[in-house]
Amino acid sequence: MRKLSLDRILQSQGFGARKWCRQLIETGEVSVAGEVVDDWRATYEVDAPASLAFTIYGETWIYREYVYVALNKPPDMECSRKPSHHPGILSILPEQFTWRDVQPVGRLDHDTTGLLLLSDDGAFIHAQSSPRRHVPKVYRATTQDAVTPELIGSLMAGVQLHDEPAPLAATWCHAVGENEIQIVLEQGKYHQVKRMLAAAGNHCKALRRSAIGGLSLDELGLEVGEWCYLEAEQIAILGNAPALEAQ
């Protein structure tokens, strides 16, 4: 059983330096189990599944050793902690996430929308980003020209990108409209969907990521700009192949 003092708990959850956290506690801004706690030395069990709940400024939080988040990314936002041309994706998340060093797991282009994962768990980020895991990612692309059987065939057979040693192929793809294609990739190369479509003789006008592994954005029920915590069951299915017919 692991216990932490209340000031350390608040610090670990992104509420600032320990000195500031102690001030919050001593001024009566923190409650645990409905009771105001003004002694920062008070200790609480934080081991899962204890799920310690505490309230600051009237808002209730659950202690989480690490944060795992799914976000339906809006357009015109950058997946960077130091954005240059568009607002950063962290600006629509709680300020505490920045203090916790929550960061995107991989990146979506500023104009690409859809499912984005974020976490402060370095091992999780590395595992999800590693090309060795071959985690399938499902995209829907709107194309400039009509989707043809020849385009599908080229993407499935593999297209050569100028900076890649070997052709890159889609794991699976099919037309879902006259100018819309669903494509599943495992490699995660830079601008991969857009570059593959260009290499196959078409142009990507809009792009949305709808699933990562077995985790579907539609099943999460997130509107554009909304986010949710991922629980253990959802994290466990990230590496599973998606149900392609349902995407």
Phi-psi region of 156 (alpha: psi -120 to 50; beta: other; left: phi over 0): alpha
Whole-angstrom Cα distance, residue 86 to residue 75? 10
Q: Tell me which of 109, 111, 120, 121 is the catalytic residue.
A: 109
Whole-angstrom Cα distance, residue 144 to residue 215? 28
Our CA dihedral for 151, 216, 118, 19, rounded to 10 degrees, sits at 160
Known active-site residue 145:
no
Tokens 């829907």 -> residue = 140
Strands 204-212 and 35-36: unpaired
Where in the sequence numbering do the catalytic residues fall? 109
